[in-house]
Structure 1
Amino acid sequence: MQSIIKNNVGETLDSTWARGAGGLRQSDWIVVLGHGVTGDKDRPLIVDTAAALNAAGFDTLRFSFAGNGQSDGDFRDATITKEVGDLDAVLSAVASSYSHIGYIGHSMGAAVGVIQSAKDPRISALVSLAGMIDTKAFAKTEFGQETPDDGLMWEEESCPLSSAFMTDLCETIQSIAEQARCVTAPWILLHGSADDVVLPRDTEQVQQMHGDAVQVVCVDGADHSFNQPAHKEQATDAVVTWLTALAAR
């Protein structure tokens, strides 16, 4: 496995690899974790999910998309389209060392995973945490009152809202429903019922498409990032149980 991961424009992606617990180790599996917009690989949801997977025997690799966290790049260039390229680079870095790759994405990171999984058989299992489908609705609802290239995302000084971001989500992509329809890998989607950032209807849309072919877990009362300890534990337990059963097949 490559120790230094660069995307297709030569930017180094900050990543953390961790080994699964010895006695339980699933040596042919690795689970890659990608964060949401304005996040990075060290967000609590990503760190805690990876730790739970390590305890269950899975190797993990969590990474920051370019322009986020300690990765190279400019945050203003961090669009879904570019992040798909980042994920492709990460998959290429680990594929020679593992026969099965799971991908867990949160929010926008989940949208990235859907787009990649729809065209990439290297993803053996897909996990969406509060996953985004209607990218235009998200961008317009959350940032529609801001002026691109002048405003900020959620008033965070380190997260300028770029026209590249808004154009990508609102015009280039708009929705990833068609890509979601093309996903054939085993897929579990988890969503908090109180999520007011990416609405639960995005996950419901996938469930309507795929029916019983996907597993859906609604975490009652959970917000967008499953911040309450009980909500996070419910989500991580569901993910670990599902992936463990999949790896045992």
Structure 2
Amino acid sequence: MEMAANLSAATQQKLSFPNKHGEKLVGILHDTGSPHLVILCHGCRSSKNDKILASIAAALEKEGISAFRLDFSGNGESEGDLQLGSYSKEVEDIRSAVEYFVGSKRSPIAVLGGDAVILYACKYHDLPAMVNLSSPCFLKSGMEEVFGKDMWDKLKKDGSEDVKSKTDDFVHRLTQESMTERLNTDMREACLSLDANCRVLTVHGTADEVIPVGDAYEFAKVIRNHQLIIIPGANHGFSSHQEEMVSAVLPFLKDCVSRSST
């Protein structure tokens, strides 16, 4: 009966709040009436409308769990100029979202996304769980596949390059500074600072054409409280494996709610 009440009360609304730089962050709240909340973060050259985030939010909604799909600054409807590879700014955007919802008397129980969510958990230690989807453990992985083999030549020549989003509806700026930050970030070393009580789920596909599935096994080696799920045949965006991806993520997040409720 309680679940049915949650389902009937589920609503979606656009929310906005400032980040630490005074830029407006925008996202979609899937509000089931539950105080427990999962923050969903998109990957490189994407937005809150990413199919993966929409699929997970819909599944959480059916389970009576609230979710928030965030546009990082410079992405989608959020303000700011995103320099691709600047994980430090994405980490602070997540922090602004967590603080906003805590201030609204909600309880963020997990954050889902790529390397930025891992680095967030390494820095702030304030969430009990996170989900790592198809992230690179070695940050040189996928760079040429995404930005082209002549990326560094262009950056050395011009200093920066504008890169369209996957849907061609907004533009990112790629700079030597931001890409150098990416290359100087050691994910394996960062993961060693994760709180031992922070539960981590990594989901990766064997046919990932951008980030090798071997990176997922590297995360499993260095993260202490870790669960690994490999989806056979799935590519980087789980294009033909949305159901399998959701089925991998949902039990973990439901368990997060159960643990937070006890």
Equivalence for 1:34: 41
Cα separation, 2, equivalents of 1:98 and 1:154: 32
Cα separation, 1, equivalents of 2:82 and 2:222: 33
Deviates more, 1:91-100 or 1:148-157: 148-157
Secondary structure at the aligned position of 2:112 is classed as strand
- Give the 3 Å change call, closer, same or farther, for CA 150–77 of structure 1 in structure 2: closer
Structure with bigger strand share is 2
- Give the 3 Å change call, closer, same or farther, for CA 59–162 of structure 1 in structure 2: same
Q: 1:104 aligns with which of 108, 112, 118?
A: 112
Q: Percent identity?
A: 24
Equivalence for 2:188: 177
Secondary structure at the aligned position of 1:244 is classed as helix
C-alpha deviation, 1:78, in angstroms: 6.3
Secondary structure at the aligned position of 2:125 is classed as coil
Alignment check: 8 A CA contact 1:18 1:54 kept? yes
Equivalence for 2:219: 206
Alignment check: 8 A CA contact 1:15 1:61 kept? yes
- Give the 3 Å change call, closer, same or farther, for CA 10–221 of structure 1 in structure 2: same
Q: Aligned partner of 1:122: which letter? A: D
Q: Aligned partner of 1:236: which letter? A: V
2:128 paired with 1:124:
yes
- Give the 3 Å change call, closer, same or farther, for CA 9–78 of structure 1 in structure 2: farther
| Equivalences, count | 234
C-alpha deviation, 1:136, in angstroms: 3.1
TM-score, with structure 1 as normaliser: 0.85
Q: 1:226 aligns with which of 238, 246, 249?
A: 238
C-alpha deviation, 1:129, in angstroms: 0.9
2:250 paired with 1:245:
no
- Give the 3 Å change call, closer, same or farther, for CA 168–122 of structure 1 in structure 2: same
Deviates more, 1:147-156 or 1:62-71: 147-156
C-alpha deviation, 1:28, in angstroms: 3.4
- Give the 3 Å change call, closer, same or farther, for CA 154–74 of structure 1 in structure 2: closer
C-alpha deviation, 1:196, in angstroms: 1.7
Secondary structure at the aligned position of 1:14 is classed as strand
Q: Deviations over 1:106-143 (max 9, x none)?
A: xxxx1111111012232121001112222233435643
- Give the 3 Å change call, closer, same or farther, for CA 236–179 of structure 1 in structure 2: same
- Give the 3 Å change call, closer, same or farther, for CA 31–50 of structure 1 in structure 2: same
Q: Deviations over 1:8-33 (max 9, x none)?
A: 1111011111113xxxx6x3310000
Cα separation, 2, equivalents of 1:217 and 1:15: 28
Equivalence for 2:208: 195
Equivalence for 1:113: 117
Cα separation, 2, equivalents of 1:210 and 1:167: 25
Alignment of 1:66-105 (within 5 A): 66-76=73-83, 79-96=86-103, 97-105=105-113
Equivalence for 1:215: 227
Cα separation, 2, equivalents of 1:77 and 1:191: 22
C-alpha deviation, 1:79, in angstroms: 1.6
C-alpha deviation, 1:205, in angstroms: 0.5
Q: Deviations over 1:65-118 (max 9, x none)?
A: 11111110123366212111111111111123223421010xxxx111111101
Cα separation, 1, equivalents of 2:17 and 2:163: 29
C-alpha deviation, 1:150, in angstroms: 3.5
Bigger radius of gyration: 2
Alignment check: 8 A CA contact 1:198 1:224 kept? yes
C-alpha deviation, 1:240, in angstroms: 1.0
TM-score, with structure 2 as normaliser: 0.81
The Cα RMSD (Å) is 2.3
Cα separation, 1, equivalents of 2:127 and 2:161: 37
Q: Aligned partner of 1:182: which letter? A: S
C-alpha deviation, 1:154, in angstroms: 8.5
C-alpha deviation, 1:151, in angstroms: 6.2
C-alpha deviation, 1:43, in angstroms: 0.9
C-alpha deviation, 1:165, in angstroms: 2.5
Alignment check: 8 A CA contact 2:81 2:172 kept? no
